[in-house]
Structure 1
Amino acid sequence: MKKQFIKLFDLSGKTAIVTGGAGILGSHFCMGLADAGANVAVVDINIEKANELARTIEKDYGVKTLAVYCDLTSEQSVKEMVDSVVSEFKTIDILHNNAAGKSSNLEAFFAPFEEYELNQWKEIMSTNLDGMFLVAKYVGKVMKQQKNGGSIIQTASIYGVLAPDNRIYEGSFYLDRQINTPAIYSASKGGVVALTKYLSTYWAKDKIRVNTITPGGVESGQNEIFKQNYSNRIPLGRMAQADEMVGALIYLASDASSYVTGQNIMIDGGLSSW
C-alpha cells in the first residue's frame, strides 16, 4: 500500500499561535504556518503590525487569522491573549513561543558585563524567559484540557548554546551602533532550551510535544563588516535568511515529527559543528 508521507506536513484545520508574530522572524513563521494550512493567531505587542500581517496572510493564503495584542511581561495580558484565541478558533493545536526582546535603552542593553545593571537584566529576562513560561503555562493548560495533544515550539538562539565569539563585533555596526551579545541574552536563551526539555517530559503523557529551534545569525540589516566576520565563522560561509528558519518549524509543528520531543534543532549553518 502506497503511503503519502508529504501529507504528514499538512496543517490544514489546525490553529497556531505565534508570539512575536509581527517581527523579522515571526512574520516568516506566521506565513509558513499559513502556507501549510494552519489558521494563525499573530500575537505581538505591536498590534498595528500584527493586524497588517494578519490581513496580508488571509489575502495571500486563504486561512483564518487573528491579530492579538499581548504584553508577555504581564500574566493577565497573556491569559487574555490565550482566551481570545480560544474564543475565536475554539482550539489551540500549535504554539510557537517565539517572542524575545531587546531593551529600549540600548546603552544599558549592550553595557559591559562588569557594569551591567540588575534592573536591565530583569527587564530582558521578563520577556525572553518569563514570557515563555507564561505563554507555555496558559497554552499548555488549554492543550491538556482538549485531550488531543499538541505541539509547542520555542525559539532559542545559538548564543543560548554557544558562547559568542566577541572578535566578530570588531568594526561591526547594527541598530545604528556598535553591538555585542550581552550575557543576559545568552542566559535567557539558554533557559529556553532547559525549559523545553523540562516541559517535554512533563507533558509527554498528555501527548503534548515540546521542542526548540535555535537560529544562528540571520541577516537583518547588519553592516558588511559584521556579515563578513560572522560568515567567516560558519561552515556554510554565510549568514542565514529569515525564511530558512521556517522549514524546521513546519516539521516540528506537524505530524512529520510525531515521535520528536525535547529536541533542539540547530539552524546555524554548521557553526555548532566546529
Structure 2
Amino acid sequence: MSHFPQMPDLSGKTVLVTGGAGILGQHFCRGFISAGARVGLLDLDANACAVAAEEIGQGAFGVGCDISDPASVKSAMEACLTITGRVDVLVNNAASKSRDVRAFFASFEEYELEIWRDVMSVNVDGMFLMSQAMSKQLLTQGQGGSVINLASIYGLVGPDPRIYEGSNYLGGPINTPAVYSASKAAVVGLTKWLATHWGPHNIRANCLVPGGVSSGQNGIFQEKYADRVPMNRMAEANEIVGPAVFLASDVSSYITGQILAVDGGWTAW
C-alpha cells in the first residue's frame, strides 16, 4: 500500500531562520515549531534573538549572526550545531532596508552606491553565504535537506508606482527602490541554480515569493495595494507561514527549483 503524508511534519528536524527575530521571521518560527521542528533564530542582534526565542517558547533558540560577514556565518553555524547536532532546513528570510531607511527610499536618480551595496550585502551576499554554509553541513550529513529563499513579487514583476502616491511607512513616503527588485530577482536566479546544483544530493531549493504583507502601512497604501490585488487585500503574516512549512517538509519531497508566489493573485494579472 502506498504511503501518503497527510500533513507537513517536521518532527526531529532543525530549521534555521535568518531574520528570525523580525515580524515575519517570528511567524515562520512559530509555524515550524507547531509542525514539530526545533528552530534556530538567526539575527543581527543577539539579544533580540534570545528574547524572541524565549517568547516563542520551547523548541526555539537564538543565535546572533551578521549574514553578510563570512566569519559570523561560520560562527553561527557552529553554534547551532553545538546546540542541535544537525540542521535540516534553512529559511533565508533576512533582508535589509540599509542602515538609513530614508536613503533606502531615495529616488533612482539620486540613489547612493553605498546604500545599494549595503542592501545587496544582506539580500544577496548574505543569502549566498548562508546557503554555502548550509550546503557544506547538509552534504556532510548526507541525508538531504531543504533551503527556502524569500524573494518578493518585485523580483518577478516591476512595481506599480501608483500605489505609492500618498503612501506612508516608517515615518515618511515610500516606494520600491531598484536595489530591492534587483536583489529579489537575484534570489530567484540563485534558487534555480542551487536546485540544479544540489539535486543529486536530495537537497531541495525553492523560492517563496510573498506579496505585500500588512505591517503598519498607512490606510492609503493599504487601500491602493488592495485595489491592485485580485483578492482585494494585503496578506497577513501568518498566511505566508503555511507554504513555508510545506516547502520545508517531506510533503514537498519532489519539489525543487520552484517559485511559489503567495501574493493573492498579484502576479496573475
- What TM-score results when the alignment is normalised by the length of structure 1? 0.96
1:238 to partner: Cα distance: 0.2
Please name the residue that 1:13 is paired with. 12
Please name the residue that 1:143 is paired with. 138
Q: Does 1:88 align with 2:83?
A: yes
Tell me if the contact between 2:65 and 2:72 (Cα under 8 Å) persists in the aligned partners.
Answer: yes
Please name the residue that 1:125 is paired with. 120
Please name the residue that 1:190 is paired with. 185
Matches within 5 A, 1:37-116: 37-58=36-57, 62-63=58-59, 65-116=60-111
Please name the residue that 1:210 is paired with. 205
Please name the residue that 2:230 is paired with. 235
Distance in 2 (alpha carbons) for counterparts of 1:153 and 1:137? 13
Q: 3-state DSSP class of the match of 1:177?
A: coil
Distance in 2 (alpha carbons) for counterparts of 1:134 and 1:48? 22
Distance in 2 (alpha carbons) for counterparts of 1:46 and 1:261? 32
Q: Which amino acid is the alignment partner of residue 189 of structure 1?
A: K
Please name the residue that 1:170 is paired with. 165
1:57 to partner: Cα distance: 2.5
Q: 3-state DSSP class of the match of 2:6?
A: helix
Please name the residue that 1:24 is paired with. 23
Q: 3-state DSSP class of the match of 1:211?
A: strand
Moved more, 67-76 or 46-55: 46-55
1:2 to partner: Cα distance: 7.7
Question: Which of the residues 237, 255, 268 maps onto 1:260?
Answer: 255
Q: Which amino acid is the alignment partner of residue 182 of structure 1?
A: P
Matches within 5 A, 1:217-232: 217-232=212-227
Distance in 1 (alpha carbons) for counterparts of 2:106 and 2:220? 21
Q: Gapped runs of 5+ residues in structure 1?
A: none
Distance in 1 (alpha carbons) for counterparts of 2:83 and 2:261? 34
Moved more, 145-154 or 40-49: 40-49
1:4 to partner: Cα distance: 5.3
Distance in 2 (alpha carbons) for counterparts of 1:86 and 1:5? 28
Q: Gapped runs of 5+ residues in structure 2?
A: none
Q: Does 1:33 align with 2:32?
A: yes
Q: 3-state DSSP class of the match of 2:91?
A: strand
Q: Which amino acid is the alignment partner of residue 236 of structure 2?
A: Q
Q: Which amino acid is the alignment partner of residue 157 of structure 2?
A: L
Q: Which amino acid is the alignment partner of residue 114 of structure 1?
A: E
1:112 to partner: Cα distance: 1.0
Distance in 2 (alpha carbons) for counterparts of 1:121 and 1:48? 27
Q: Does 1:179 align with 2:174?
A: yes
CA displacement, residues 64-100 of structure 1 (integer Å, 9 cap, x when unaligned): x220000111110011011111111111100001100
Q: Does 1:246 align with 2:238?
A: no
Q: 3-state DSSP class of the match of 1:178?
A: coil
CA displacement, residues 179-235 of structure 1 (integer Å, 9 cap, x when unaligned): 000000000011001000000000111110000100000000000000000000000
Runs of 4+ in 1 over 3 A off after TM superposition: 1-4
Tell me if the contact between 2:29 and 2:39 (Cα under 8 Å) persists in the aligned partners.
Answer: yes
- What TM-score results when the alignment is normalised by the length of structure 2? 0.97
